[in-house]
Amino acid sequence: MISSASAMPSNRPGSLVEMEEQLWIIYALGSALGLASADALTKRYFVGLPPYGMILVRLLFAVPFLGIGWLCISIPPLGRTFFYAVAAALPLEIVAQLLYMRALQVSPISLCTPMLAFTPVLLILTGQVLLGESLNIWGIGGIGLVAAGSYILNLDRRRYGWLAPLTALWQASGPRLMLLVAAIFACTSALGKLAVLNSAPTFFGLFYPCVFTGVMLSGYPWSRSRPGKLLWARPGWGLLLGFCAAASILCHMHGIQLAPAAYLIALKRTSLVISVLYGGLWLKESHLAARLPGSLLMAAGVILIAWKGS
């Protein structure tokens, strides 16, 4: 729900108004930190669960915190298009999240999470091929930065040939799975945008994860990998994980009211860099010297695509 305050004259000091207008940057970075922290906590404490269980831990511990957000919003008018978009997105989301958790299981977080930078690349290329949208020099430059960053991530493979750092992304199961996630997210992003256009950003930001939680729980009786009591084996870390996941969603929800969605989502992709730092400094993953500059280039490419690429 977009605030009407910006459309009304204000008697507040100009510096205060400017500060509030730039608050979206803090929200975007908060969302990035929450997402990266949730991934790192999942990798550190819950990677022993099956992927289905890893998803449930993130969702079940996040829902109580998301309940706070429901106290601050109203339900907008919802049409058929909204429900069609949500219904189409949910099966894709299930597949994407299962692949996401599996990638965290089998791969260093500093190597697999940067692959999500390919989502905006796929979006912009799809728009050019299917919709005839033009790709300007900035968009090409952003794609180039993402490609260069992905090359640097595996620079240690350079001794096996010039293309080895790139082919390693597909040969290693973690990055390969996350590339598939990025492709699915390109589809769910479009469906999510359609749902937002037929509701409100704040409402959808809370509605979608809660419905997704219900859908995942509904499959529990038929799941072959039911985690049972293991879901609650580490309640303290689970609560922290849920808080980080919910904080990411709530920061995103508030920030999107203050800035164009493309700007917010682009800055949120700094989570890739934060994840690499978590991997190297906390999880003691190797090759931080190559993966940190690689992730910085990929995040810069995403920002360039979002701000100047169309």
pLDDT per position as a tens digit, 204-224: 989 999 999 999 999 887 777
76-106 pLDDT per residue, tens: 999 899 999 999 999 999 999 999 999 999 9
Task: Give the distance from CA 169 to its chain's centroid.
Answer: 20
Do 60 and 242 touch, CB atoms closer than 8 A?
Answer: yes
**Whether pTM exceeds 0.75:** yes
Residues of the chain with confidence (pLDDT) below 50:
1-10, 130-131
Query: Where in the chain are the domains?
Result: 76-222+260-308
| Close Cβ partners of 268 (under 8 Å, ≥ 6 residues apart) | 28, 31, 32, 35, 252
pLDDT for position 226:
67
Q: How many helices, marked H, and strands, marked E, lie in the chain?
A: 14, 0
Alpha-helical segments (H) within 46-172: 51-70, 80-106, 109-112, 118-131, 137-153, 164-171
Residue 13 has which token pair?
């000091």
